[in-house]
Structure 1
Amino acid sequence: MNRAPGLSVRLKLTLSYAGFLMVAGALLLAAVWLFLLRYVPEVIHLPTAADRPGRVPGVFVPNRSDLERAFVPKAAAALAFLLVFGLVGGWLLAGRMLAPLTRITQATRLAANGSLSHRIQLEGSDDEFRELADAFDAMLARLEAHVAEQQRFAANASHELRTPLAITQTLLEVARSDRHRDTGELVERLHFVNTRAIELTEALLLLSRADQRSFTREHVDLSLVAEEAAETLLPLAEKRGITIETSGEVTPALGSPALLLQMTTNLLHNAIVHNRREHGTVWLTTSRHPQSVALTVENTGDTLTSQAVSTLAEPFQRGTARIRADHTGVGLGLAIVKSIVHAHDGTLTLTPRPAGGLSVTVRLPAAPPPADR
């Protein structure tokens, strides 16, 4: 943006300090002048020898004119000194006060040029500049983490999208070189690869929508959402020999019904897929707290470490070493859940179960009572 040149903040503060000092000095001198004028008449009448017997006549007593000739030059010199002192002192004080702002400006320019690892780390006591510098450092840390996450996501998404395209190209080249090959098998494999690519694309779009928070918040009961998700995935659970147990109370929240249903479905799908091969169990529970509501999904399964669990919510991470079995998904299930939870101002907690499996808790702000809505 093109703007007209103006005075610097340091110069403005210097002029302000000097101006205030000049005004204060002028008021002080005016007060002294008025105080002196109260006791000095304009014309002095000296007493004669007859009026004052025993005194020497002709004693000099200054009048107002004499006072003006003696006071005004000294007052002007004092004001000139205050002006010089105010300008020099104000310039030094303004420079000292604005030094933290200069460091913040330099850090801002570095961040604008792409250097997000720089931190201000302002020393000194807790004041307004320190608070601003700490807030800026925290913002830089969040931006750096977000950019790094986006770069990893872009790299993983490019890799995941390239894989089905490369497989499709290979299948087509094989079909073109071997025209007598059975086309039924080729069409079936192409259909499977294309379906995976569509699922991945839809997951990426859903993830982007959750990150942008482009949805209308409505009143949602998480217990009903949990029941709907359980009914939807019940055939998959029965096919794998998994038992789904649902329990809980009414849990009112504010958010997108579609996104919250997608969140619950993803959690339940992961709990079913990453479970025991037979006789596994999934517990789906909802609970209500004073200021929040919670949705908990637990499942039996292999024993997981805390380090492995901490990476499960990253995009394209799978709990079974990135296998390509049926119904394993595209590796965005928990990443989508994490984005949906954050878009609803909630928290996502993943904890390994001591007996094996995973416990996932989603905590969202509770919806206000009907009288407040």
Structure 2
Amino acid sequence: MSARLKLTLSYAGFLMVAGVLLLAAVWVFLLRYVPNRAMLTNPDDRPNGVFPIRSVLLGVFAPRAAAVLAFLLLFGLVGGWILAGRMLAPLTRITEATRTATSGSLSHRIRLPGRKDEFRELADAFDTMLARLEAHVAEQQRFAANASHELRTPLAVSKSLIDLARTDPNHDNGQIIERLHAVNTRAIDLTEALLLLTRANQRTFTREPVDLSLVAEEAAETLLPLAEKQGVTIETDGDITPTIGSQALLLQLITNLVQNAIVHNLPEDGTVWVSTEVRPRTVVVTVENTGEILTPQLVSTLTEPFQRGTKRIHADHAGVGLGLAIVKTIVLAHDGRLTLVPRSAGGLRITVELPAAPSALPQR
């Protein structure tokens, strides 16, 4: 049976039960004040001179009660069918939208009118889900196109170098090998970044207690040679910041931030500040750097895959355009929040806020 038929039968059944109870109450009420028998003033009217009041009353009441119940049954069926149809009408629109989305069209929205009830909340939640799903699919399509383009470039360069070596035996093979090595290294870095991005997206990692202050110090020490080579000073400070997550992914997160801050810095005498902070329910890592003045519009696009803010200053650390995209994915995988704000004096301030470990929360 359909939901509409079930509701119709339920309405009709409830109305019938209510009618039976009402008629039973009327009958009981009548019995309280009506005697069972009455003596006739003229005994010639009855053989024994007694008139059975209740029996006569029952004979009159029962057919009319049956007629009332039949009317209630018919009224309940017709009215219940109409009411059930009106109540389930929003579900029909939601079902049609679901079928449209199943066919591949995610641009359709229900936009259910009327007062905000359970059906309106369901429709609004479904519209929100469709909007997010449409944005996610569009982002994945852009990502796939960009990744294909980024991977095609080193492959095309490698093919050109190999063709050059085959057609020109007198060419300097050492130079070709060096260029092939550089191109293949970039392709490998891009592939590893894509795999890391996929792993973070799927959240297939083990969660464990992590102190972000120690992770920040490790990342800064690892990148210290790069900073010295580029003439950038790294300054670290802050509190113990315990959280729960993947040690490897969080190290990759802060390493990407610090490396990005080093590469996108002033040509000389640049500075990178790495600090950690404990808040009531979260822990925060902030990475700031000096550099060129950035607009808020440009900063808002930096976490998209294969987006680069300014031209790379050092070609040997050009990256693959996934550094901040990986950071954003890791932050979301840890239920955190990522904030990018351009500094008025130039450079960028990036704040990562993650849930604090339960042991670090204040006890009541």
Give structure 2 stretches of 5+ with no counterpart. Answer: 44-48
SS of 2:250 mapped into structure 1: helix
Q: Determine whether 1:146 maps to 2:136.
A: yes
State the AA in 2 paired with 1:18.
Answer: A
Choose which of 27, 31, 34 in structure 2 pairs with 1:37: 31
Q: Give distance in 2, aligned partners of 1:44 and 1:31.
A: 23
State the AA in 2 paired with 1:11.
Answer: L
Tell me the alpha carbon deviations over residues 117-137 of structure 1, each in whole angstroms, 9 at most, x when there is no partner: 111122222211111111111
In the TM superposition, 1:291-306 aligns within 5 A as 291-306=281-296
Q: Determine whether 1:348 maps to 2:338.
A: yes
TM (norm. structure 2) is 0.94
Choose which of 86, 97, 113 in structure 2 pairs with 1:96: 86
In the TM superposition, 1:258-277 aligns within 5 A as 258-277=248-267
Choose which of 289, 303, 307 in structure 1 pairs with 2:297: 307
Cross-structure match for 1:256: 246
In the TM superposition, 1:170-319 aligns within 5 A as 170-319=160-309
Q: Give distance in 1, aligned partners of 2:191 and 2:19.
A: 74
Cross-structure match for 2:40: 46
Count of matched residue pairs? 358
Cross-structure match for 1:115: 105
SS of 2:55 mapped into structure 1: helix
TM (norm. structure 1) is 0.92
Cross-structure match for 2:317: 327
Q: Give distance in 1, aligned partners of 2:265 and 2:356.
A: 31
Cross-structure match for 2:70: 80
Q: Give distance in 2, aligned partners of 1:259 and 1:120.
A: 39
Q: Determine whether 1:159 maps to 2:153.
A: no
Aligned-residue identity in percent? 73
Higher helix share: 2
Q: Give distance in 2, aligned partners of 1:331 and 1:323.
A: 14
How far is 1:60 from its partner?
A: 11
Alignment RMSD (CA, Å)? 2.0
SS of 2:157 mapped into structure 1: helix
SS of 2:233 mapped into structure 1: strand
Cross-structure match for 2:347: 357
State the AA in 2 paired with 1:295.
Answer: V
How far is 1:38 from its partner?
A: 3.3
Cα 1:108/1:324, change in 2 over 3 Å: farther
Cα 1:46/1:85, change in 2 over 3 Å: same
Cα 1:275/1:85, change in 2 over 3 Å: same
Give structure 1 stretches of 5+ with no counterpart. Answer: 1-6, 50-58
SS of 1:282 mapped into structure 2: strand
Cα 1:193/1:73, change in 2 over 3 Å: same
